[in-house]
Amino acid sequence: MLTVEGLRSRYGRIEVLHGIDLTVQSGEIVTVVGANGAGKTTLLKCLSGTQPVSGGTITFRGESLTGVPAHRRPARGLTQSPEGRQIFTNLTVEENLRLGAFLYADDRVDKDMQDAFAMFPILREKRNLPAGGLSGGQQQMLAMSRALMGRPSCLLLDEPSMGLAPIIVRQIFDVVGSLKALGVTVLLVEQNAFGALKIADRGYVMETGRIIMSGAADDLIADPRIRTAYLGI
């Protein structure tokens, strides 16, 4: 579904992605794990089109994304749930969800919203309240749900566990794991390597702008180098 080859990106004169190769097959959950500053967010921004690419190619569902602006990528089926959630704090929960469905004006929007409420019932309770009043975990649920309202075939998720209490992190990861059954392919970038690898099919390990290891998620969890460097085991 998604093929990234030799991807490079820079901030000014400083290159931070030095030739990333990565694939995501339809129906997979793939995670990119790595420490703070490894380049995970930059990679996702290149995929969603909000960060310029200085080399390499991105192919999504058989078509090159080169020259396709960020605002046209959701219509192709590629949607990002950004780092830091970026919800509209002065709009209500429901208004935020409806913005996620900006491409659509059909009856399915209401059904999709009911699906979001079924996934995260707290959002139903708070649907008419300003999103700025939600807790961090609830805002993350809203950000993910808003991205899903765009009916992506591939969801790009940036650090959904960031700054959240362990019990909420578990809930979020459970939902991400369940998206597969709904036919959504997921590319998840995370510092929480253990949580991410536990729900993923495959994983890539990123260090200073390069992929240094990749494989089946179970194999990565069992790898002594990963256990020491990333899982604290």
Whichever of 11 and 102 has its CB closer to ligand ATP, that residue is 11
Q: Which whole-number Å values give the CA distances from 61 to 91, 150, 232, in the listed order?
A: 34, 17, 37
Whichever of 51 and 138 has its CB closer to ligand ATP, that residue is 51
Task: Check if the beta carbon of residue 200 is closer than 8 Å to that of residue 52.
Answer: no
Q: Could you say which of 2, 4, 30, 41 contacts ligand ATP (CB under 6 A)?
A: 41
Residues in the chain: 233
Site for ligand ATP, residues 165 to 194, rule: CB under 6 A: 191
Q: Could you say which of 20, 29, 42, 195 contacts ligand ATP (CB under 6 A)?
A: 42
Site for ligand ATP, residues 75 to 104, rule: CB under 6 A: 83
Whichever of 16 and 99 has its CB closer to ligand ATP, that residue is 16
Phi, psi of 87 (to 5 degrees): -85, 165
Of 34-42, 87-95, 96-104, 196-204, which segment contacts ligand ATP by CB under 6 A? 34-42
- Coil, strand, or helix at residue 156? strand
Per rule CB under 6 A, count of chain residues that contact ligand ATP? 12
Q: Could you say which of 20, 22, 34, 160 contacts ligand ATP (CB under 6 A)?
A: 34
CA 24 to chain centre: 13
Of 36-44, 86-94, 106-114, 119-127, which segment contacts ligand ATP by CB under 6 A? 36-44
Whichever of 39 and 152 has its CB closer to ligand ATP, that residue is 39
Q: Which whole-number Å values give the CA distances from 220 to 64, 68, 121, 233, in the listed order?
A: 30, 34, 34, 13
CA distance 21 to 53: 14
Task: Check if the beta carbon of residue 19 is closer than 8 Å to that of residue 42.
Answer: no
| Residue 49 touches ligand ATP, criterion: CB under 6 A | no
| Residue 160 touches ligand ATP, criterion: CB under 6 A | no
| Residue 38 touches ligand ATP, criterion: CB under 6 A | yes
Q: Which whole-number Å values give the CA distances from 4 to 16, 43, 47, in the listed order?
A: 16, 10, 9
Minimum CB separation of residue 123 from ligand ATP in Å reads 25
Residues 6+ apart with CB under 8 A from 84: 162
Whichever of 41 and 171 has its CB closer to ligand ATP, that residue is 41
Closest CA to 7 of 52, 57, 79, 75: 57
Site for ligand ATP, residues 12 to 31, rule: CB under 6 A: 16
Binding residues vs ligand ATP (CB under 6 A): 11, 16, 34, 36-42, 83, 191
